[in-house]
Amino acid sequence: MKQRFRSKKGARPVAKKEAPSPTYRWEKEGYEREQEMTFFLPWQFLFMCRLVEVKPYEVLHRLQEDLGQENWLRKEDRSEAQQLLVEYFIRQGWGQTYYTETELRQMFTELRSISLLWPKDAPMELIDLQARWRDAYHRYWLKKWYRKVRRKQP
């Protein structure tokens, strides 16, 4: 682990945070799971966030969760918002060089199904088991859809 030192004489070393090791070989060049990004937010977006007193980070984080069809942390039903984001994704034309609109909708449905199986108020052993199953199923799901267009393996 690399260390940085404070400028004061005799100061203790401060450990520099290292990026976690990737789960997949393709997790590089912009596809890392943990990323630190710096970009300009449009003024209109900031104005709206300020007026309704919600931090831009909260909005962007929620958009990512909803588009990824995550559902296990929230108590409220977000299915309508998630479906609107799926519609937005499809209307942008993303992925349609590789997949049909029907296939894209199926992908989102499968991701949502994985998320809906999360055991609420379950014992820790079951939650750990579910998390391992979910991770294995995510790997299967990714390979299934990646191979569908006959690409090289990631």
Provide the residue ranges of all domains of the chain, joining segments of one domain with +: 40-148
pLDDT of residue 9: 52
Structure tokens at 1: 């682990």
Contacts of 79 (CB under 8 A, 6+ apart): 112
Sequence-ordered strand ranges (E) for 8-50: 13-15
Residue 49, both tokens: 């966030």
The overall average pLDDT reported for the chain is: 82
Give the model confidence (pLDDT) of 30-72 as tens digits. Answer: 777 777 778 789 999 999 999 999 999 899 988 988 898 887 6
pLDDT number for residue 2: 47
Residue 98 has pLDDT above 50, yes or no: yes
How far does CA 97 lie from the centroid of its chain?
A: 22
Mean pLDDT, to the nearest integer, of 75-82? 80
What pLDDT does residue 121 have?
82
